[in-house]
Amino acid sequence: MAVTEDPGRANWVLGDAIAAQSEQIMGRHPFAAIAAAIVSAGLGLIAAPAAVAADAAHPTVVELFQSQGCSSCPPANANVAALSDRPDVLALSFSVTYWDQLGWKDTFARPEYTARQWDYAHALRHAQVFTPQVVVNGRADTVGIDRGQLWALIRTAARASAGPEVAIGGGAVAIGAAPAPARPADVWLVRYDPRSVEVPIRRGENGGKTLPHKNIVHALIHLGAWRGQPVRFALPPGADPAWRVAILVQTAGAGPILAAARG
C-alpha cells in the first residue's frame, strides 16, 4: 500500500505493475498507484460488533481527506458532497497539507487534519497516507472515486449498537451512558461549513479550475473522554455563525466511531 507524502515517489514505491493498473483506473497521476493498491487489496476494514442502521439521530460518519492540489480529488469530493444532504449521513471534508508544496496551497488545509489522517492510516494498517481517501464510521476506507463502491462501504460500515446517545444544545453536549469501552473514548467537536463554496485554483494540478466544496471542516477540537458514564462538555464559541457543529465519540486511537450527532 503506498503513499508517501512525496507524491512523485508513489510509482517508485509500488512498482511498475501497480502503476499500470493505476493508469487504467484513474489515469496518469502521482497518486493513482495508491488508489490502485487499495482497490486491488480490498477495502480497509476494522472488525465491528453488532451494528444499527443509520438515521438522523445516529448518522453514518463519512470523512473525506482531500486537497485542492490533487487532480484525482474532485470526483471523490463530488461523491461525498452528494451525500451531504442526507439526514442519515454526516459528511465531513478535511483538507490535508502535504500537497501544499506542489504548486498550490489548499485554502482550508490544517496540520491537525493531516494528523487525523495519519491516525487513521495507523489504525487501518496503511503504511502511508493518500488522497483522496474516504473513511466511514472510522471502520473502513476507500478512495471514494467510485460512487457504487462508496455506497457499498457505507452500507457495510454501520455504527456499533453499543454507542451512547448524544444531545447538543444550550452551548453544551451531553453524552449518555452505555457499555464502557475498553479504553476511554475520545470526544471530538467538529465545526464545518454546510454551504457550497466555489474556490478558484490558480496553480498546481487543478490550476485554472474552480472547485466546489461542501461541508468543509474548519475546526477539530478534542473535548475530553467518555468512559461509559454520562458526561457533559461546554462547547467553545464558533468563529462563524453559519458553521454547524458535530460531535464524534470515537474509540481512542482513531478507531471505530461509537456515536455521532450534529447540532
The answer to whether residue 110 scores a pLDDT higher than 60 is: yes
pTM of the model: 0.83
What angle is formed at CA 90 by the lines to CA 116 and CA 143, rounded to 5 degrees? Answer: 55
Higher pLDDT, 110 or 20: 110
How far is 14 from 30, CA to CA, in rounded Å? Answer: 11
**C-alpha cell of residue 143:** 478512495
Q: Are residues 35 and 53 in the same domain?
A: no
Q: Report the amino acid identity of residue 110.
A: R
Q: Are strands 185-200 and 172-175 parallel, antiparallel or unpaired?
A: unpaired
DSSP 108-124: T--HHHHHHHHHHHHHT
Whether residues 169 and 189 share a domain: the answer is yes
Give the per-residue pLDDT at 197.
Answer: 96
Q: Is 181 left (phi over 0), alpha (psi -120 to 50) or beta?
A: beta
* Per-residue confidence (pLDDT) for residue 157, from 0 to 100: 78
31 with 105, same domain: the answer is: no
The answer to whether the beta carbons of residues 83 and 93 sit under 8 Å apart is no
In this prediction, residue 174 carries a pLDDT of 98
Decide: 160 and 48 in contact? Cβ < 8 Å.
Answer: yes
What is the tally of structural domains in the chain? 2
Amino acid at 102: L
What number is the average pLDDT over the span 96-125?
A: 97
Provide mean pLDDT across the span 117-128.
Answer: 97
Going across the sheet that includes 210-226, the strands are: 44-45, 140-142, 133-136, 60-66, 89-95, 210-226, 185-200, 244-250, 257-262
pLDDT at 104: 95
198 lies in the same domain as 241: yes
Check whether residue 83 and residue 169 sit in a common domain: yes
Same domain, 232 and 154: yes
**Environment class of residue 164 by beta-carbon count within 10 Å: exposed (0-12), middle (13-18) or buried (19+)?**
buried
> If pLDDT is split at 50, 70 and 90, which confidence band does 156 have?
confident
**Predicted confidence band of residue 112 (pLDDT cuts 50, 70, 90):** very high
Domain region containing 26: 1-42
Task: Name the nearest CA neighbour of 247 among 59, 116, 48, 49.
Answer: 59
Whether residue 248 is found in the same domain as residue 205: yes
Which residues does 175 contact at the CB level (< 8 Å), separation at least 6? 164, 165, 166, 187, 226, 230, 231, 232, 233, 247, 249, 259
| Residues above pLDDT 70, as percent of the chain | 78
Same domain, 146 and 217: yes
In this structure, the answer to whether residues 18 and 129 fall within a common structural domain is: no
**One domain for residues 17 and 118:** no
34 and 64 assigned to the same domain: no
pLDDT at 14 > cutoff 70: no
Residues 190 and 88 in one domain: yes
Q: Is the pLDDT at 42 greater than 80, yes or no?
A: no
pLDDT at 159: 62
Look at the block and give the residue holding cell 469530493: 77
Residue 205 has pLDDT above 70, yes or no: yes
Comparing 41-50, 111-120, 141-150, 181-190, the range with the smallest average pLDDT is 41-50
Please give the share of the chain, as a percent, with pLDDT higher than 90: 73
